[in-house]
Amino acid sequence: MSLKAFHVFFVAIAILMCVSLGVWGVRTESADGSSAPLIFAAVGFAGAIVLGVYGVWMLKKLKRFSYV
């Protein structure tokens, strides 16, 4: 497996992690009533979108590189 293939796998896992952070933030109640979990939710969902866009750009840029 080349670095390209590992990077594609890594970005996919990172997107899942960002979505998880978003879901965690929406479902978690803050102990002190602050809006911190909702901020983390927004950051998580935004991160997932940014990584998705980057993933498409990266696949185009590394088109001629092997997956092996």
Which of 13, 14, 11, 3 shows the shortest CA–CA distance to 57? 11
> Hey, what are 56's tokens?
């498409």
How many chain residues bind another protein (CB under 8 A)? 28
- DSSP secondary-structure letter at 29? P
- Contact assessment for residue 1 and residue 67, using Cβ atoms and an 8 Å cutoff: yes
Binding characters for another protein, 28-67, by CB under 8 A (x = yes): x--xxx--x---x--x---x---x--x---x--xx--x--
Residues at the interface with another protein (CB under 8 A) = 1-4, 6-7, 10, 13-14, 17, 20-21, 24, 28, 31-33, 36, 40, 43, 47, 51, 54, 58, 61-62, 65, 68
